[in-house]
Amino acid sequence: MEKAEDILVLRARDFWASLVLGATSVFFLWKTMDIPLWGENKAGVSGTQWYDSAAIVPLFIFVGLLCLSIALFVISVRSGGARHALGAAGIGWNPDEAFRFSTIGLILLAYVGGLVPRVDFILCSGLLITALIFGYYGGHPRRAMIACGAVCLAGFTSLLLYPAQADWNAHADDWITLGIWVALTIPVLIKARSERLLRVVPYIAVLAPFILVCAMAFGFRQNVPARGGLLFQQIEYHYYVTLRPIWKG
Partner 1 sequence: MEFVLSQLAGFGHAFAALVADPLTYLYLVFSVFLGITFGALPGLTATLAVTILTGFFGNKIPLDYSLIALLGAYVGAIYGGSYPSILLNIPGTAASAATAMDGHPLAKAGRGGEALGLTTTASFIGTIIGTLTLLIFVWALLLVSKNIASPEKALLALFGILLSGTLMSEDLVLKGWISGLIGLAMAMVGLDPLLSEPRYTFGWSYMLSGFQVVPVLMGAFAIPQIIEGLRHVEAGKVMALKGSILPNLSTVRRHLPTIGRSGVIGTGVGALPGVGEDVAGWVSYGVGKTVSKDGKNFGKGSLDGLLCSETANNACIGGALIPLLVLGIPGSPPAAALLGAFKINNVIPGPTIDPEIILRVVAILVLASLTMFLMGLFTARVFIKILKIPQTVFLPVVMVLTTIGSFSVGGGINDLYLMLGVGFVAYFMNLMKYPIAPLVIGVILGGLFDETFRRSLFLSDGDLSVFVSRPGAAILLVLNLALILSQLPPVKRLFARLKGAPA
Question: Residue 139 and residue 38: Cα distance in Å, rounded?
Answer: 59
Which residues between 152 and 211 bind partner 1 (CB under 8 A)? 197, 200, 204, 208-209
Distances (CA, A) of 168 to 1, 118, 159, 231: 55, 5, 9, 15
Q: What are phi and psi of 138, to 5 degrees?
A: 90, -10
Q: How far is the CB of 54 from partner 1 (least distance, A)?
A: 4
Stretch that binds partner 1, among 10-18, 81-89, 172-180, 230-238 (CB under 8 A): 10-18
Q: Give the per-residue SS3 of 5-52.
A: HHHHHHHHHHHHHHHHHHHHHHHHHHHHCCCCCCCCEECCEECCCHHH
Q: What are phi and psi of 140, to 5 degrees?
A: -105, 110
Is 56 a residue that touches partner 1 (CB under 8 A)?
yes
Q: How far is the CB of 57 from partner 1 (least distance, A)?
A: 5
Q: With CB under 8 A as the rule, give the number of residues binding partner 1.
A: 63
**Coil, helix or strand at residue 142:** helix
Q: Which of 33, 57, 98, 190 touches partner 1 (CB under 8 A)?
A: 57
Interacting residues with partner 1 (CB under 8 A): 10, 13-14, 17, 21, 28, 31, 35-36, 48-54, 56-58, 61-62, 64-65, 68-69, 71-72, 75, 100-101, 104-105, 108-109, 111-113, 116-117, 121, 125, 128-129, 132-133, 136-139, 197, 200, 204, 208-209, 212-213, 216, 220-225
